[in-house]
Amino acid sequence: MMEAETVIAIRGLTNRFGKTVVHENLSLEVRRGEVLGVVGASGSGKSVLLRSIVGLMTPSVGEITMLGTDVLGASVAARAGVSARTGVMFQDGALFSALTVRENVEAPMRETLSVGAATRRALADLRIALVGLPPTAGDLFPAALSGGMRKRAGLARALSLDPEILFLDEPTAGLDPISASAFDTLLNSLREALGLTVFLVTHDLDTLQATCDRIAVLAERRVLVTGTMAEMRDVDDPWVHAYFHGPRAHAALAAVGEY
């Protein structure tokens, strides 16, 4: 079987904030069509890594190639072209509070697509339905949404431009177990239906078990190890062992009959 295409390649990445080094000589690859879960202790730089890849931060040193483009060395136009093929969902949705859900979903279209208002509205309503929100949600402002609905609205906006790669930053944080499980199911359905590649920052072991093909562990300012959930349980590292052998990991595996 041929190995899947690499759609994100990170080589020798270093991120510094003053004297603080968050990443040093970090390397990682993401394959087309996979869900890669990124985990690590607080302060290990999970969100910093995501922001570096999507262009919200400039690393001190290193190379990032995404969808065949050297995003750090590319022109503004080339970077914009890559950005249009990706979608990002930040924690709690990060919606514009003064815009309705529909207007939030339309926002990336206004900047990128040369289509009329009616077409934008129809495309936005399609995204809203795709993430399982009722049609009436499009007219609501973020303040009127529950936590789970805000997450789905943020996901709808991330899907606005029909991306190839989806970046999710702690998508189930703050959700009750039922809502978190429903989000995991939705993500699996969207990944299958749309052929998405997903870069998923999370601390949720249930989400790792339910959605991820591989897991990358950030520790010691680099990617310490990558592998499946089962393979993580054989890693000889104190933090990895504690994380993947703790009671929550046991519960996540037991739920699917793997423990």
Residue written as token pair 């690393």: 59
Classify residue 72 as exposed, middle or buried by CB count within 10 Å of its CB (0-12, 13-18, 19+): middle
Residue 250 has pLDDT above 80, yes or no: no
Q: Both 148 and 170 in a single domain? A: no
Query: Cα angle vertex 56, ends 52, 61, to 5°?
Result: 40
Residue 109 has pLDDT above 90, yes or no: yes
- As a whole number, mean pLDDT of residues 23-52 equals 95
Q: Both 118 and 241 in a single domain? A: no
| Measured CA distances, 129 to 35, 57, 88, 126, 157 (Å) | 22, 32, 18, 5, 12
pLDDT band at residue 247, thresholds of 50, 70 and 90? low
Q: What is the pLDDT of residue 255?
A: 52
Q: What is the pLDDT of residue 94?
A: 81
Nearest to 160 by CA among 213, 212, 93, 207: 93
Domain boundary among 162, 183, 212: 162
Q: What is the pLDDT of residue 220?
A: 93
Q: Both 139 and 251 in a single domain? A: no
| Structural domain for 207, as ranges | 32-58+76-85+165-259
Q: Tell me the one-letter amino acid at 5.
A: E
Q: Whole-angstrom Cα distance, residue 134 to residue 233?
A: 40
Domain boundary among 146, 162, 178: 162
Q: What is the pLDDT of residues 151-184, one digit of tens each?
A: 999 999 999 999 999 999 999 998 999 999 999 9
Q: What is the token pair recorded at 6?
A: 């690499």
- As a whole number, mean pLDDT of residues 90-109 equals 91
Nearest to 166 by CA among 198, 211, 188: 198
Q: What is the pLDDT of residue 256?
A: 46
Q: Both 81 and 190 in a single domain? A: yes
Q: Both 173 and 257 in a single domain? A: yes
Q: Both 184 and 249 in a single domain? A: yes
Domain boundary among 109, 138, 162: 162
Residue 258 has pLDDT above 60, yes or no: no
Q: Both 176 and 81 in a single domain? A: yes
Q: What is the pLDDT of residue 2?
A: 58
Q: Both 254 and 174 in a single domain? A: yes
